Amino acid sequence: MEDKVLMKGNEAIGEAAIRAGCKCFFGYPITPQTEVAAYMAKMMPKLGRVFLQAESEIAAINMVYGAAGSGVRVMTSSSSPGISLKQEGISYIAGAELPCVIVNIVRGGPGLGGIQPAQSDYFQATKGGGHGDYRLIVLAPSSIQEIIDLTSRAFDLADIYRNPVMIMGDGMLGQMMEPVQFKEVKGREVPEKPWATCGLYGRERHNVITSLFLAPEECERHNLKLNNKYKEIEKNETKFELYNCDDECDFIIVAYGTMARICKNLINMADKEGIRIGLIRPITLWPFPKAAFEQVIGLTRYGFLCVEMSMGQMVEDVLQVVNGRCPVEFYGRCGGMVPSPDEILVKIKQILNQREGVI
Amino acid sequence: MPRVYFKEENCKGCCLCIKTCPKKIIIISDKLNNKGYHTAAILEENMKNCTGCASCARICPDVVIKIEK
Amino acid sequence: MAVIFDRPKALLDVPTHYCPGCTHGIIHRLIAEVIDELGILDRTIGVAPVGCSVLAYNYFACDMQEAAHGRAPAVATGIKRAIPESIVFTYQGDGDLAAIGTAEMVHAATRGERITTIFVNNCIYGMTGGQMAPTTLPGQVTETSPYGRDVLTQGYPIRVSEMLSTLDGPAYIERVAVSSVPNIIKAKKAIKKAFIYQMEGRGYTLIEVLSTCPTNWGLSPDEAMTWLEKNMIPYYSLGVKKDIALEVK
C-alpha cells in the first residue's frame, strides 16, 4: 500500500487516469480545470504516452473519438463552457459506441458565467446535452480519494459498455488538496476490442467506426440496441451512499459532490440541535439512484430537501422519483456561490416551522 | 491486341470514356443495365483499333473498365 | 495477355452512390491504387467527411472512421497519435475542410501532423444540393448565390493550398486536377508522394484535387471537365505549393 500523498483534485484525476492505463489525453486550458491538462502534459511524455493540447475543446473531443475508435483508453477534460463545445462530439461518440472518459469541472454559468464551483451542468450531463437518444454514465465524486476511485472505475465502465463516461467534479473539488492513497485495485474484467480501427493485418473485413444509419429501420435498430445497453447500465451500475438514514428522520437531504460534503457537516450540526437529517448521496447521477429513495422514503417525516449549487436541476429527478408521495423542497445557490451549512440549517428550520405550524 | 472489358452493372453512362478515347472506339450501347443506365461498350469489330492506352480506364469514375494487353 | 488495368484491392468491389461522371470515383481509385502500390493497406486508416463522400467508408477496403463535419483532421490526429505506425488519411470536400473545418485543418497542418489530407475542391456544396462553398468562384451561381457570388457581400474564395503553404508544419502541398487523363496521371503522382512523405514521417501533407460536380453545376460530366479547366485552373493554379525537400535548411 502506497503512502498517503497530498494532492490537488485536478492532478489526482490525471494521476488516476494514468494508473488506469489512459494512453492518450487531449485537452484545452479552461479555468478551473487547467491543472488536469498541465499534469498530463508533464507526466504523459515521461511514460511514452500521448498528451496533446488541441486547438479547441471541439478538436479535443474529436481527437478522443479518433483514438477511442482505434482501441486505446483516452480522456479529455474541460469545464462547463468547454463541455458545451464538446456536445456534438459526445453525441457522435455515444452513437458510434466508443469508450472514453470526459471530465467536467463545473463552473458557474450560463454562457461565460464565472470560474467558481457550481452544479449547474446536471441537465446537460444527464438529460442529453448533445442531440439524439443517448446517455452518459455520470459519476459524481465528493472527495479527492473518491475522484481517484471513480476515475479508475470510469475507464472500466467505458470499456465494458462501449460508452462515454463523465466524471462530474466542480471547481472546489478540482482546486482543493487532500491526503489520498493510490491503492493497487484490481480493475474489472473488460472485453477485447475487435471492432477497433487499428489496421487490417489479415482481418477479412475492414472495421468502420460510424454513427450514420441512413435507413430509418437501421437507425431505429441501432437506437434500440443502445437503449438495451442503457437498461443494463441502470440495472448494474447505479451507485449511491446513504448517510444517517438508519432510523426515522425529520428530513432526508439529496445532494452530490461538494454539496454532499457540506451537507454531512450540516447533518452533524443539526443533530446537536435535535433535528434528525439523513442524506442520499447519488454517486452515479446517471443512472439516477431511484432505489435509494425506495429504501428510505418511509423514514422521512417531512420529506426530501434537494440541495444543489444551481437553480434546481437534480430536484426535477427527485420530484419524478418521489412522484408526490411526500414533499420535495429545494435549496440552492448558484453562480459560484457555495452554500454554508449554517444557511442550509436556517432553511431547514424555516420549513420545519411551516410544517409544524400546519400540523 | 489489347482487350477492354466493361463491367456493365457498374456503368453509369457518364460518357467520359467516350470523350477521352483517342481512337474514338467507345460507344454508348442500347443495353440498359439493372440501374437503368445505357452502358459504354466497344463493338468487336473496333477492338482491333484499341492501343491499350488505358485512358478510358483512368478517367472512369466507377472502375468499370479492365484492360488486358 | 496480362491485365494492365483493373480495380485496385484497396477499393472494395461495390457500386458507389456518386452521380454519373462525379470525379469522387476517380479520386477514390487513385488513392486506392497508391495504397496498393505502396503496400500499406494493412496499416492504413481513413477518415471520411460529411459531404457527398460521407459513405467513403463503404468504398475503401482499409479500416475507416466517419467524422463529424469538419472534424476529420482532429479525428485523424487521435488515430495517428494512438497508433503512430499507422498511415492515416482524411478525405474532405470544400465545406468540410474550408468552412466548418478550417480550425482543424490549419492546426493539423501547423502541428505537422503526420497525416495526409485529400481535399476535393469542386467550388460547391454537393450533398446538400449546390450551395455556395468557401471555394465558389466570384460570379459563380449557386443555390445560395443565385445572382452570382458577390465578393462585396459574400467574400472571396479561399486558396487553401497557398494558405497552408505559409505554415512550417506541412511537408508537401500540391494542387492537381482530374479533368483529363494527363492531369489524372499527375494527380496520382502527387497523391503517392504525399503518402510517401507520411511514411517517411516528414510532416503534414495535403493534395488539393480540383474536381467537378456535374449535377449541381448543371453540366454534363464532359462539359464539367471543360468548365473546370476554363474557370477553376486560372483561379486555383496547379502545381507544388510546398515541398519540404526543396527547402534550404
Kindly report, residue by residue over A223-257, the tens digit of the pLDDT: 999 999 999 999 999 999 999 999 999 999 999 99
Average pLDDT over residues A283-304: 97
Alpha helices in chain A (DSSP H): 9-19, 34-46, 57-69, 80-95, 122-126, 144-161, 171-175, 216-237, 257-272, 290-296, 314-322, 341-358
H/E element holding B66? strand B65-68
Chain A's closest residue to C59, CA to CA, is A206
8 Å CB contact of C66 and A208: yes
Non-local CB neighbours of C238 within 8 Å, separated by 6+ positions = C175, C176, C177, C183, C186, C210
Residues A264, A181: one domain? no
Interface size, chain A vs chain C, as Cβ–Cβ contacts under 8 Å: 134
Give the helix, strand, coil percentages of chain B, each rounded to 5.
Answer: 30, 30, 45
Cell digits of residue C116:
495526409
Chain C's closest residue to A196, CA to CA, is C63
pLDDT digits (tens, 9 = 90+) for B14-69: 999 999 999 999 999 998 999 999 999 999 999 999 999 999 999 999 999 999 99
Q: In this complex, which of C2, C4, C25 lies closest to B61 when CB atoms are compared? A: C25
H/E element holding C76? helix C72-82
Residues A75, A223: one domain? yes
Q: Which residues in chain C are contacts of A58 at CB distance < 8 A?
A: 71, 74, 103-104
pTM of the model: 0.95
Residues A200, A281: one domain? no
What is the nearest CA distance from A146 to chain C, expressed in angstroms? 28
Q: In this complex, which of C41, C63, C104 lies closest to A197 when CB atoms are compared? A: C63
How far apart, in whole angstroms, are the C-alpha atoms of residue A268 and residue B45? Answer: 100
Q: Say what the pLDDT of residue B31 is.
A: 87
H/E element holding B5? strand B3-6
Residues A258, A222: one domain? no
Cell digits of residue C205:
501533407
Average pLDDT over residues A294-312: 96
Statement: residue B3 has pLDDT above 80: yes
Select from A236, A254, A271 the last residue of a domain: A236
Best residue in A40, A193, A209, A218 to probe C by mutation, most C CBs within 10 Å?
A: A209
Chain B's closest residue to C7, CA to CA, is B63
Residues A217, A302: one domain? no
How far apart, in whole angstroms, are the C-alpha atoms of residue C227 and residue C222? Answer: 9
Average pLDDT over residues A178-206: 93
8 Å CB contact of C7 and B20: no
Q: What residues of chain A, 89 to 118, have a C-beta less than 8 Å from chain C?
A: 89, 92, 96
Q: Which among A38, A275, A232, A42 is positioned nearest to A137, based on CA atoms? A: A232
Is A204 at the interface with chain C, CB within 8 A? no
- Residue whose cell numbers read 466517419: C66
Non-local CB neighbours of A214 within 8 Å, separated by 6+ positions = none
User: A180: domain CATH number?
Assistant: 3.40.50.970
Are C235 and C144 contacting, i.e. CB atoms less than 8 angstroms apart? no
Non-local CB neighbours of A127 within 8 Å, separated by 6+ positions = none
Q: In this complex, which of C4, C214, C221 lies closest to B54 when CB atoms are compared? A: C4
Q: Which residues in chain C are contacts of B67 at CB distance < 8 A?
A: 3-6
Best residue in C181, C189, C213, C215 to probe B by mutation, most B CBs within 10 Å?
A: C181
Non-local CB neighbours of C167 within 8 Å, separated by 6+ positions = C106, C109, C110
Residues A123, A150: one domain? yes
Q: In this complex, which of C54, C60, C78 lies closest to A212 when CB atoms are compared? A: C54
Residues A260, A228: one domain? no
Q: Which among C98, C51, C90, C94 is positioned nearest to C72, based on CA atoms? A: C90
Statement: residue A299 has pLDDT above 90: yes
User: A315: domain CATH number?
Assistant: 3.40.50.920
Q: Which residues in chain A are contacts of C65 at CB distance < 8 A?
A: 65-66, 69, 197, 208-210
- Residue whose cell numbers read 454539496: A259
Please provide the distance, in angstroms rounded to a whole number, between the alpha carbons at the two ends of chain C: 50
How far apart, in whole angstroms, are the C-alpha atoms of residue A158 and residue A233? Answer: 11
Confidence of residue C22 (pLDDT cuts 50, 70, 90): very high
Q: Which residues in chain C are contacts of B54 at CB distance < 8 A?
A: 4-5
How far apart, in whole angstroms, are the C-alpha atoms of residue A242 and residue A300? Answer: 13
Statement: residue A272 has pLDDT above 90: yes
Q: Say what the pLDDT of residue A359 is.
A: 39
Q: In this complex, which of A62, A63, A207 lies closest to C68 when CB atoms are compared? A: A62
User: Contacts for A35-42 with beta carbons within 8 Å, 24 or more apart?
Assistant: A35/A8, A35/A10, A35/A11, A35/A174, A36/A10, A36/A11, A36/A77, A36/A103, A36/A105, A36/A174, A37/A77, A39/A10, A39/A11, A39/A14, A39/A15, A40/A14
Residues A226, A256: one domain? no
Sign of CA dihedral C194, A26, A222, A71: positive
Cell digits of residue A101:
472518459
Average pLDDT over residues A137-166: 97
User: What does the longest C-alpha to C-alpha distance in chain C come to?
Assistant: 60
> ipTM for the complex?
0.97
Q: Say what the pLDDT of residue A186 is.
A: 81
Residues A306, A193: one domain? no
Is A199 at the interface with chain C, CB within 8 A? yes
Domain total of chain A: 2
Confidence of residue A184 (pLDDT cuts 50, 70, 90): confident
| Helix, strand, or coil (residue B67) | strand
Select from A190, A214, A236 the last residue of a domain: A236
Statement: residue C249 has pLDDT above 70: no
8 Å CB contact of C75 and A54: no
Best residue in C77, C80, C107, C204 to probe A by mutation, most A CBs within 10 Å?
A: C77
Q: In this complex, which of B9, B14, B65 lies closest to C5 when CB atoms are compared? A: B65
Interface size, chain B vs chain C, as Cβ–Cβ contacts under 8 Å: 74
Select from A236, A261, A283 the last residue of a domain: A236
Residues A304, A196: one domain? no
pLDDT digits (tens, 9 = 90+) for A60-78: 999 999 999 999 999 999 9
pLDDT digits (tens, 9 = 90+) for C68-112: 999 999 999 999 999 999 999 999 999 999 999 999 999 999 999
Which of A38-47, A349-358, B20-29, C197-206 shows the lowest per-residue confidence on average (mean pLDDT)? A349-358
Best residue in B1, B5, B16, B50 to probe C by mutation, most C CBs within 10 Å?
A: B16
Q: Which residues in chain C are contacts of B3 at CB distance < 8 A?
A: 1
Q: Which residues in chain C are contacts of A212 at CB distance < 8 A?
A: 54-55, 66
Q: In this complex, which of C5, C22, C185 lies closest to B61 when CB atoms are compared? A: C22
Q: Say what the pLDDT of residue A1 is.
A: 60
Chains touching C, CB cut-off 8 Å, 3+ pairs: A, B
pLDDT over 70 for what percent of chain C?
A: 99
How far apart, in whole angstroms, are the C-alpha atoms of residue C81 and residue A69? Answer: 12
Q: Which residues in chain C are contacts of B20 at CB distance < 8 A?
A: 180-181
Q: What residues of chain B, 11 to 40, have a C-beta less than 8 Å from chain C?
A: 12-16, 19-20, 35, 37
Q: Which residues in chain B are contacts of C225 at CB distance < 8 A?
A: 16
Q: Which residues in chain A are contacts of C79 at CB distance < 8 A?
A: 66-67, 69-70, 197
Residues A60, A203: one domain? yes
pLDDT digits (tens, 9 = 90+) for A23-53: 999 999 999 999 999 999 999 999 999 999 9
Show the domains of chain B with their CATH numbers: 3-68 (3.30.70.20)
Residues A247, A178: one domain? no
How far apart, in whole angstroms, are the C-alpha atoms of residue C127 and residue C9? Answer: 27
**Structural domain boundaries enclosing A312:** 241-356
Neighbouring-strand partners of residue A168:
A104
Statement: residue A358 has pLDDT above 60: no
H/E element holding C221? helix C221-227
Do the chains A and B touch each other, judged by at least 3 C-beta pairs below 8 angstroms?
no
Chain C's closest residue to A211, CA to CA, is C66
